[in-house]
Amino acid sequence: MQNLLFSGRKLFPGAFIILAFILLALVGSSCNKAAQTVTPSLPGNEFLTTVQLQLTNTADPTDVQLASSTQMSPYTNTYQVDSIYTNLAFMRLKANSTYSGRVLILDETKSPFDTVSTEILARENYHLFFFEPSPVLASAFVVSNTTTYIPQADWLTGQPASDTTAFGTSVNESTAASAATALNLVVSRTDMDVNNPPLQIGLQDNFVTGAASSGTLRVVLRHQPNAKNGTYDPGSTDFDVTYAVTIY
């Protein structure tokens, strides 16, 4: 097929200049079009070093619990990417009580340290906290977009004996047939985001205890930009930590 621009005939003077302007116009037009269709990247997972649970007994303000899980070495005060320090990752709660709780997330590599919780709150529509007590009473275990339970398919099971939290307590999760063998703790979120309709967040929570018992509480923050719907599955994980719990 004959080339319409170069037909074999001699080009008239100035034709190369005209052709150059045409090509530049086409390239400029295509670049502008591409720029207009670029989608901004979604915010990535937050960097953090420490997750603390701060609980206050609503009937006794002097009963305050602070449980902390961190990657900051207590010996060198430096961040350890492959380590987690759980010597303070525990709480002792009174039986048949209600505690008002909040999750405090820190980046202690900065001085003064950065409160990552503020960033989470600023992006509340992207974040959802989950709290899984274990052993959990099987009859009370209901996964929905208003409960804090983690779906059983995402539980920690079959973890090695070395995978523990405070006091050498295994992080493996399980169910219990009765309250006599369960960790009698129920956590509910008390804060809401500005999605339409609003969805729970989990930075602010209520911890309600039952009879004396012991076990673990796993806390997971899910990062769900443009995907949050109240369930666990969408998105990725910002942190996943486990605390030892004693109710007395």
**Residue pLDDT, tens place only, 103-128:** 999 999 999 988 999 999 999 999 99
What ranges in the chain are assigned the alpha helix state H? Answer: 15-36, 116-122
In a domain? residue 40: no
Counting the structural domains of the chain, the total is 1
Q: Is residue 178 assigned to a domain?
A: yes
CA 18, CA 158: separation in Å to the nearest integer?
Answer: 72
Q: Which structural domain, as residue segments, surrounds residue 102?
A: 50-247
**For the segment 210-227, what is each residue's pLDDT rounded down to a tens digit?**
999 999 999 999 999 999
The token duo for 141 is 């275990």
| 32 inside domain | no
Mapped onto helix, strand or coil, the DSSP state of residue 50 is strand
| Cβ neighbours of residue 241 closer than 8 Å, sequence gap 6 or more | 51, 69, 84, 89, 218, 219
Would you say residue 64 lies in a domain?
Answer: yes
**CA separation for the pair 237, 159 (Å, rounded):** 19
111 assigned to some structural domain? yes
Evaluate whether residue 30 is within a structural domain. no
Q: What gap in Å lies between CA 138 and CA 28, rounded to an integer?
A: 64
Domain assignment present for residue 12? The answer is: no
**pLDDT surpasses 60 at 173:** yes
With respect to residue 200, please indicate whether it lies within any of the assigned structural domains: yes
Q: What pLDDT score was predicted for residue 41?
A: 58
